[in-house]
Amino acid sequence: MTRIIMHGCNGHMGRVITDLVSKDDECKIVAGIDPFDDGHNDYPVFASVNDCDVEADVIIDFAAAKAEDALLDYCEKKQIPVVVCTTGLTDEQIEHVRKTACKVAVLKSANMSLGINMLMKLLQDATKILAPAGFDVEIVERHHNKKVDAPSGTALALADSIKEVLGDDYYYKYDRSQERVKRDPKEIGISAVRGGTIVGVHDVIFAGEDEVIEFTHTAYSKSVFAKGAIEAAKFLAGKSAGMYDMSDVIAAR
């Protein structure tokens, strides 16, 4: 039985994960961390991670980015592995994640879905063929109107997987409204759309001479991310220090 602390338990994803875990015989949420609590959970909830004195095997993190540093310090001190799902982290926080992984097991992924992680591999294969043939690369992501970070962490992860193939000569272009120039062939364009209740749509466009190839991933429910986070937590519990990602979870299945 994997004992889980849910960091951000009263956020939307925290509630989805709580519901799914309640139906899973292999794991249990033993405590939650959230500054806002209405008492509806069947486990103790602490306003701050530093107040939590419940023993656990792993933490799932779906909280606000501002709470990340305190969580990482706690995980290192208590030697509790952590699945980092929070997006919108600063460069300094990402570096903090890396340093923490030297002392305790950390699994970080901008997107926990199996489909997105498979798409990253497909994009690398496509890039090797299409980029040398002169295809431009554009990424358009769409999310609900309550998402505060843009572009999404998933869009950046998709872009990173492409740039890993293309090399450092390529760079990200987020906004073209302030200049009137032709598109640089070395650009990877990334655009964000916010509206309604869109769970998450990511379009990766390879635009060439007289033909366009598109890859699209659509999430119809946040359950796809929650299920991935739970499987990642089961995988990470008991692991030695190091940085892990969803490819490790998939390989272990």
DSSP structural state of residue 146? T
Measure the CA–CA gap between 118 and 196, rounded to whole angstroms. 27
pLDDT at 37: 87
Measure the CA–CA gap between 9 and 107, rounded to whole angstroms. 18
What is the DSSP pairing of strand 136-143 with strand 58-61? Answer: unpaired
> Any known ligand binding at 202?
no
> Any known ligand binding at 102?
no
Measure the CA–CA gap between 238 and 251, rounded to whole angstroms. 17
The owner of tokens 């926080």 is 93
Measure the CA–CA gap between 104 and 26, rounded to whole angstroms. 22
pLDDT tens track for 140-182: 999 999 998 899 989 999 999 999 999 999 999 998 888 899 9
> Any known ligand binding at 117?
no
pLDDT at 161: 94
Q: List the catalytic residue out of 7, 96, 108, 143.
A: 143
Given a cut of 80, whether residue 14 has pLDDT beyond it is yes
Residues in the chain: 253
Strand order in the sheet with 136-143: 171-173, 187-194, 136-143, 200-208, 211-219
Q: List the catalytic residue out of 78, 103, 147, 239.
A: 147
> Any known ligand binding at 41?
no
143 is catalytic: yes
